[in-house]
Amino acid sequence: MGLFESLLKLLTIWFVTGLAIRISRRLIDYFSVAREVLDIGDFLTMGDSQRRQIRTSTIAAAIKGFVTILIIIIGCLTALAALGLPTASVVAIGSLAGLAITFGSQN
């Protein structure tokens, strides 16, 4: 695999990852606004409309952050695979680090 091919693959992965992030954010915004327009909250007892809007925007922001990080992780793993590096070891080390942080943050 030549240098040009690997650069082209990395550029494509970067472009698709950025596009996926933008599309997912637009979809989340669309569905959060559609939820406010439909006012499904009338069937649920969640409080007044201002509180519902704040909750909707908070939940939408949290989902945006989670989806963005998930897409970036998938993009990084795809880029490592395109370069020929083993992704299984990276995932295993990341899992162990996450487990260590989880156990370390307990009281």
How many angstroms from the chain centroid is the CA of residue 97? Answer: 20
CATH of the domain at 11: 1.10.287
Q: Cα(107)–Cα(103) distance, rounded to whole angstroms? A: 9
Total structural domains within the chain: 1
| CA nearest neighbour of 25 among 79, 62, 51 | 62
State the pTM of this model: 0.76
Does 49 have pLDDT greater than 60? yes
Which residues form the domain of 75?
Answer: 3-104
Read off the pLDDT band of 89 (50, 70, 90). confident
Q: Cα(61)–Cα(65) distance, rounded to whole angstroms? A: 6
